[in-house]
Amino acid sequence: MKVCVVGTGYVGLTTGVSLAFLGHEVTCVDLDQQKIDMLTGGSCPIYEPGMEDLLAEATANLTFTTSYAEAVPGADVVFVAVQTPSADDGSPDLRYLRSAAESVAQNLDHDFTVVVNKSTVPIGSGNWVDAILRESFAQRADRPAGCEFSVASNPEFLREGNAIHDTLFPDRIVIGSDNPRSLEVLNQLYRPIINQTFTAPSFSPRPDDIGAVPLVSTDLASAELIKYAANAFLALKISYANEIGQLAAKVGADISEVTRGMGLDQRIGSRFLQAGVGWGGSCFGKDTKALIATAAEYNYSMPIVQAAREVNERQRLIAVERLQDELRILKGRKIGLLGIAFKPNTDDLRDSPALDIANLLLARGARVRLHDPIAGERFRREQPSLAPYLSDSLDALFDDCDAVVLVTEWAQYLELDWGKFVGLMRTPILLDGRHVLDAERMARLGYKYLAIAG
């Protein structure tokens, strides 16, 4: 099929490159000329493992442009994957979605095109986008005869750092539309993934246990709500583990053992039960806030989701308070933070716990140093107020440090020669913000090991 993807962020780029790899003819459009130039030259503007390799393999079926007039005409499917940041009231800011829909409508010319909301959008956005498309299309003096289109929802469930694997080998594919023809087009588009008939890339082999991928084909509103409900539930699991972790600390229990015992229950599962400094990224915070805002429009409150957000915010403050309890005074203390990205294998800084912890420490007079094996360049660009506190080397971070906090569980930190650095510190205090280090081993090396929870 001929596919247009609007937006080349994490979701849009992964979608476009993956579909091109599967053999579809894909054109990605983005108004950022610098990003388009990078992609045209074979470079990736985001850090995502395997993306540049997949980009190279799919290049014969890929085109990048800043022109809607080049990307939209003749497309069987148009994916809209633009940013939908949170507005002040918690609802998603849909200005970019509106602009994209208007631009798409000005260039539709095919006998039937499915316009797909790939961005995470509020329930009802499919109907809203459909109205924008029809209004903008009707205003065209050159609108072609026989041109039909319909709106569908196809939410993404990608984990940054695992985006290619999650696209090619997903747990499920969700498509929603009130038009049966749209559902059939998307069914055919995804057939290679559903049936797993494609040759897997060498750097992302097909899992041995994968069979046919389940397809959830439903109405627009249900597909939109599935996305929010799934993300909110995962956020709830993490916040629940963190809340239990604080109780574990008070009663003398080991939260790692508690969550392991919980996770072995097949009704619960072990994923997203890791206690620590909390979740971050572009999805959980924004989507839980949007879900609460949507419910408020219908005079309905969601106290469980709100509590998950409050627990998550509290975890970042708890990290600072653990340091203060140990050091007594934070003013003038040098505190090193290992990891800036919100999770490993990405350079995404959105809602990163490290940023909040750094600002809280600075507000209390601490001397902060930060390090990240990948996200440093993006950090300097996006966080100019914190950029002076970035350390290019681990030696500089550990030197004369009063405490070090593991914030992001990068493999580079887990495999670190910790014994090499303990002697550089003024007081070898180590706060494990992710419960991933061996407490006994760290103690043998000379660290005073602290955990974020029991």
Per the listing, tokens 């849009």 go with 12
- pTM value is 0.90
| Rg, the chain, Cα only | 24
At 453 the pLDDT is 81
**Residue range 153-184, pLDDT digits in tens:** 999 999 989 999 999 999 999 999 999 999 99
How far lies 285's CA from each of 88, 196, 309, 310, 348, in Å? 13, 33, 7, 11, 14
Contact indicator for 72, 116 with CB cutoff of 8 Å: no
Task: Using the predicted structure, report yes or no on whether residue 189 has a pLDDT greater than 80.
Answer: yes
Predicted confidence at residue 210, as pLDDT, reads 92
Measure the CA–CA gap between 415 and 405, rounded to whole angstroms. 16
Residue 105 CA to chain centroid, in angstroms?
29
- Decide: residue 73, CB within 10 A, 0-12 exposed, 13-18 middle, 19+ buried: middle
Could you confirm whether 283 is annotated as catalytic? yes
Q: Which pLDDT tens digit goes with each residue over 33-80?
A: 999 999 999 889 989 999 999 999 999 999 999 999 999 999 999 999
pLDDT bin (cut points 50, 70, 90) of residue 83 is confident
Annotated catalytic residue: which of 4, 28, 283, 401? Answer: 283
pLDDT tens digit sequence for 275-296: 999 999 988 998 999 899 899 9
